[in-house]
Structure 1
Amino acid sequence: MAHDTSKPSSTKHSIDNLKTSGFERRMSIAKTSLNIGRRWAGNSVSGMFLNKEARTARNQAFMETQANYLATELGKLKGSVVKIGQMLAIYGEHILPPEITRALQTLNDDTATLSWPTIEQTLHTLLGDKINELTIDPTPIGTASLAQVHRATVIATGEQVVLKVQYPGVADAINSDLALFKQLLKVSNIVPQTRALDAWFEEIRDLLHHEVDYEAEAATTERFYERLKDDPRYIVPKINRTYSKKRLLCMSYEPGITVVSTSLQQLSHQRRNAIGQAAIEIMMKEIFVWGEMQTDPNFGNYLVRVSENEDDIDKLVLLDFGAIRQFDNHLLTIAHGLLKAGYHHDHQAMMRAMTGYDFFDSMSQKVRSDIAALFLLATEPFSNPATNPDIPAECLDADNRYIWANSKLHSRLSSKASRAMQSFEFNLPPKEFMFISRKFIGAYTFLTVLDAYTDFDKLVKPYL
């Protein structure tokens, strides 16, 4: 959860409490379900006399309206309902209609803040007398669906910290929120109820329970801090255990600018290349060295500490280690094979590397070949130009570095993916692959926004 240190959040309106009680949330969601169900029935009846094309067009427009209504109502609730919607938007494109995915993508963390008296009461409950050891700014510097962040000073030492305060009741509401969300999708008829949907809800349940456990997040943050403390390109906040609890995280205040900030675009190209290279190198380390990855592709999980001095290193501030995912050796071996095949741009090797999951093993040769071609395109930035004649000329500079902004890689992948999917006796990709692919898409977008050029050898050679 990033906080652009250049601007405070005082303009947002604040609310005194969240609808976290089961009854309030059930009422709110029941009302939404009822309205959607009623509209759905009305649409079906009034469309009976239209021809097929008119009915299809009308149903699509209706679905769009329903989806937007759903997103608006969910957005009012904050807490895990919003997070569930966001997760389905990120990972649900294979199981949800596109209208729903698009609408859920509008669910925004950056909504109303919880009023200071409510947050202060929560902090009193969590910290007891220790709260008197801190001077806390009542205006939050960041808000999200599950928590908000306040700056503070440790009075005795002058240490600048941030407190990530979980909203009261959200952790206890996760299971009922998931049940309500599924019920809402069921009643509204928006989504076919399938085993795949059930499996995804189970996955989201695990992720959410992990994400509200700040003791686990503190331990993960400390692991990453130790791994990266000697690499001058990265900053990981230092956890302050004195003021951290299961529902409260205290860590060092790490200023920076957001990755979409205009001042970042004004840096020299060389400096932007270095930031881009650092952003993608850390992702490679997460997969191939540490076997655990921060799976949330949101830009808000990074800040950039721009150096005052042209010759010093600009640093990537890594925030929010809640959505962490561990990968086993089985997956890592497969990922390694896919990367190697991509580096050499070898279609046969890519097909051989695609194994070990039902998703791969149940494919016909034709589909396997199509998906291997898709993976070859996805690994284009990691491939050796000497063995990959398919890289468009405008995507390489004179030093064979990959030019992300020219690549249009995301749209090329999307159109190739939709063609590959049509040839499919389709079953859902393994969840781990969905997490990794989403993280890559996030990184691809970041590098495109930065207009960074990256060196394929530096990225891949250490892992071959």
Structure 2
Amino acid sequence: MAHNTSKPSNNKQSIDNLKTSGFERRLSIAKTSLNIGRRWAGNSMSGIFLDKNTRAKRNQAFMEAQANYVVEELGKLKGSVVKIGQMLALYGEHVLPPEITSALQTLNDDTATLSWPKIEQTLRHTLKDKLNELKVDPVPIGTASLAQVHRATVIATGEEVVLKIQYPGVAEAIDSDLALFKRLLKVSNVVPQTRALDAWFEEIRDLLHHEVDYKIEAATTERFYERLKDDPRYVVPKINRTYSSKRLLCMTFESGVPVTSDALQTLPHERRNAIGQAAIEIMMQEIFVWGEMQTDPNFGNYLVRISDDENELDKLVLLDFGAIRQFDENLLMIAHNLLRAGYHHDHKAMMNSMTGYEFFETMSGKVRSDIASLFLLATEPFSDPDSNPDIPSDCLDEQQRYIWANSKLHSRISASATKAVQSFEFNLPPKEFMFISRKFIGAYTFLTVIDAHTDSARLVKPYL
């Protein structure tokens, strides 16, 4: 969740109360379920006499309308319901119908802000008299589904900090929200109820409970701070433990511009290349050195601090360490082997590296070969240009660096994935792979947006 230097516009609706009590949320969702049930029955009845094609078309349109209605109702609730929807949109492509995924993708963090008196009451409850030591700006600089961010000054020292304030009742509502969400999907008939779906809900429950515990996030932020404090390319906020607790996070205010800012687009190309290289290098360290990764690919989790002096490095500001996943040795070994096979663009080595998960073991030879080709395509930016004749000629610059903006990699991977998936009894990929691939898609997009060229040898050689 970005804390940017610019003030937000004040035209966002402000609300005095969140529906965080179990009763209100159940009522809200029960009403939604009832309406859906009614609509569903109506649609089935009125479709009896239509031919098969017309009925299929009409059912799809109905499904889209249903999905949009569900999402609109959920958006009014804030809290973990919104987050659950977002996570399902991110990771649910293989479990959910496309109509649902695309509707869920519209669930937006940037909803109404909780009014200042309510936030102040929450702060007073958490900090007691310590609140008097802070001067807090009542206008938030960021809102999300689980928390709101306000700038503040520590009166005694003049230090500028930000407070990430969790909405009251949000953490306690997670389990009931998940149950409600599952019920909603059941009633709306939009999703086949499978074991895979249950497994995903368990995973989301686990992630959410992690994400609302700011003591865990504070410790993670401190780990990343220590790891990166001597690398001039990165800035990690410093946690202020005096004003932090399980539901409140206080850290240094770090200035920067959003990834999508015009100021970034107008930087000289080599400086943008350096920012892109830094963004992808940290991802490699997360997977291959530290074994833990910030899995949320949202652009809002980064800012860029542009240097006034062109001889000094621009810095990548890393903001949010809530959605962290730790990976075990087994996964890291497999990932290493996949990366090595990708770097050398070796199809046989790629097939041999695909092991250690039921997902791989149940594939036939043909499917295994198709999936290996898919992985080779996905690792194209990390491959040695001398070993990979398949890199399109307009994707390398004169220094043999990879040009992300020309690669259309995401759409090429999607097309290839669709083909691979159709060719076998699809099993859900291991969730760790889903997290990593999501993060990579976020990075692909980031590097494309800033039009970065990256050097694959520099990225991959340290990990071979």
- Tell me which interval the TM-score lies in, with the shorter structure as reference length: over 0.9
Superposition pairs of residues 62-77 of structure 1, within 5 angstroms: 62-77=62-77
Q: Is 1:355 the counterpart of 2:393 in the alignment? A: no
Question: C-alpha distance in 1, partners of 2:37/2:86?
Answer: 22
Compare 41-50 and 237-246 and name the one that shifted more: 41-50
Q: CA deviation at 1:330?
A: 0.2
Q: Is the 8 A contact 2:134 2:155 kept in 1?
A: yes
Q: Is 1:421 the counterpart of 2:421 in the alignment? A: yes
Q: CA deviation at 1:53?
A: 0.9
Counterpart position of 2:314 = 314
Counterpart position of 1:292 = 292
- CA-to-partner distance for each residue in 1:127-175, whole Å, 9 max, x for gaps? 0000000000000000000000000000000000000000000000000
Q: What letter is aligned with 2:283?
A: M
Question: C-alpha distance in 1, partners of 2:249/2:376?
Answer: 41
Q: Is 1:207 the counterpart of 2:213 in the alignment? A: no
Q: CA deviation at 1:9?
A: 4.1
Question: C-alpha distance in 2, partners of 1:364/1:184?
Answer: 36
Superposition pairs of residues 6-405 of structure 1, within 5 angstroms: 6-405=6-405
Q: Is the 8 A contact 1:237 1:254 kept in 2?
A: yes
Compare 3-12 and 415-424 and name the one that shifted more: 3-12
Q: Is the 8 A contact 2:3 2:254 kept in 1?
A: no
Secondary structure in 2 matching 1:460? helix
- CA-to-partner distance for each residue in 1:27-58, whole Å, 9 max, x for gaps? 10011111111111111111111111111111
Question: C-alpha distance in 2, partners of 1:34/1:443?
Answer: 41
Q: What letter is aligned with 1:131?
A: L
Compare 221-230 and 261-270 and name the one that shifted more: 261-270
Secondary structure in 2 matching 1:68? helix
Q: CA deviation at 1:278?
A: 0.3
- CA-to-partner distance for each residue in 1:314-355, whole Å, 9 max, x for gaps? 000001100000000000000000000000000000000000
Q: Is the 8 A contact 1:9 1:141 kept in 2?
A: no
CA RMSD of aligned residues (A): 0.6
Q: What letter is aligned with 1:136?
A: V
Secondary structure in 2 matching 1:96? coil
- CA-to-partner distance for each residue in 1:260-303, whole Å, 9 max, x for gaps? 11111011101100000000000000000000000001011000
Secondary structure in 2 matching 1:251? strand
Q: What letter is aligned with 2:134?
A: L
Q: CA deviation at 1:17?
A: 1.0
Q: What letter is aligned with 1:175?
A: D
Q: Is the 8 A contact 1:9 1:142 kept in 2?
A: no
Secondary structure in 1 matching 2:153? strand
Q: What letter is aligned with 1:269?
A: H
Q: CA deviation at 1:5?
A: 1.6
Secondary structure in 2 matching 1:390? coil
Question: C-alpha distance in 1, partners of 2:296/2:161?
Answer: 23
Counterpart position of 1:411 = 411
Q: Is the 8 A contact 1:9 1:140 kept in 2?
A: no
What is the percent sequence identity of the aligned residues? 81
Question: C-alpha distance in 2, partners of 1:229/1:149?
Answer: 24
Q: What letter is aligned with 2:354?
A: M
Question: C-alpha distance in 2, partners of 1:47/1:415?
Answer: 34
Superposition pairs of residues 436-447 of structure 1, within 5 angstroms: 436-447=436-447
Question: C-alpha distance in 2, partners of 1:265/1:41?
Answer: 52
Q: What letter is aligned with 2:193?
A: Q
Question: C-alpha distance in 2, partners of 1:220/1:340?
Answer: 29
Question: C-alpha distance in 1, partners of 2:234/2:424?
Answer: 42
Unmatched runs of 5 consecutive residues or more in structure 2: none
Secondary structure in 1 matching 2:152? strand
Q: What letter is aligned with 2:255?
A: P
- CA-to-partner distance for each residue in 1:234-274, whole Å, 9 max, x for gaps? 00000000000000000000011110111110111011000
Secondary structure in 1 matching 2:257? coil
With normalisation by structure 1, the TM-score equals 0.99
Unmatched runs of 5 consecutive residues or more in structure 1: none
- CA-to-partner distance for each residue in 1:1-41, whole Å, 9 max, x for gaps? 01332232422111001000011000100111111111111
Q: What letter is aligned with 2:47?
A: G
Q: What letter is aligned with 1:206?
A: D
Question: C-alpha distance in 1, partners of 2:3/2:153?
Answer: 17
Q: Is the 8 A contact 1:25 1:77 kept in 2?
A: yes
Q: Which runs of 4+ in 1 moved over 4 A?
A: none
Question: C-alpha distance in 2, partners of 1:320/1:34?
Answer: 38
Question: C-alpha distance in 1, partners of 2:361/2:7?
Answer: 51
Aligned CA distance change for structure 1 residues 305 and 108 (closer, same or farther; 3 Å)? same
